[in-house]
Chains A and B, each alone.
Chain A
Amino acid sequence: KNEVEQSPQNLTAQEGEFITINCSYSVGISALHWLQQHPGGGIVSLFMLSSGKKKHGRLIATINIQEKHSSLHITASHPRDSAVYICAGGKTGNQFYFGTGTSLTVIP
């Protein structure tokens, strides 16, 4: 069993829809990271959070430490949001536990 599980694996949405990607982890972590990977492209760090909620534009990330769960929300989704979203749990030091990613396709 992976230390970090994401759901769903694949997601197709219509433009404008509200999107939620979930991440559950089974290990103690010091921070939860959300990454974005566009097709054929590099990986960009979207959020790093250890409690509560963070917002950047149309993206919102939340974390519940007690339940070991995090969500990434995209409001008013757009085709340019199509990408793979990766959740990763970071431990103090040099350990990362990566999820396998959620592939999002937003249809115009």
Chain B
Amino acid sequence: NAGVTQTPKFQVLKTGQSMTLQCAQDMNHEYMSWYRQDPGMGLRLIHYSVGAGITDQGEVPNGYNVSRSTTEDFPLRLLSAAPSQTSVYFCASSPLGAGNQPQHFGDGTRLSIL
């Protein structure tokens, strides 16, 4: 059972570079989301999707783009990386909405921006 798969696990970027963090799930979940985790802070929601073709902003969306062309995949794009985006990023999924469904998390992507 693959569950939620995130790639890459680690990445170092230079300021201004762009990249895409990949997230795929094989559980046919409608809801997918991206969080960032920073020291001393709780997980913060970046973007989420309630199904293919539908995305919405979370708490900290600036500097990130998402798209959901299939149920399985929900990539997160950094358009022009900034040091403030150094963080650990988690993708999560659940069958329906997030609040009252158990969330399935990926292993995280540790991203450093120099």
Contact = CB atoms under 8 A, between A and B. Distances in A.
User: Are A and B bound to each other?
Assistant: yes
Interface of A: 2, 4, 29-31, 33, 35, 41-45, 48, 50, 86, 88, 90-101
B42 A95 contact: no
Interface of B: 31, 33, 40-45, 48, 50, 56, 90, 92, 97-108
B99 A92 contact: yes
Nearest to B91: A42
With most chain A CB atoms within 10 A of its CB, the pick from B41, B45, B99, B104 is B99
A100 B107 contact: no
Contacts of B45: 96
Given A42-B108, A100-B40, A101-B42, A94 B98 contact: yes
A45 B105 contact: yes
B98 A90 contact: yes
A93 B40 contact: no
Contact of B42 (A29, A31, A50, A98): A98
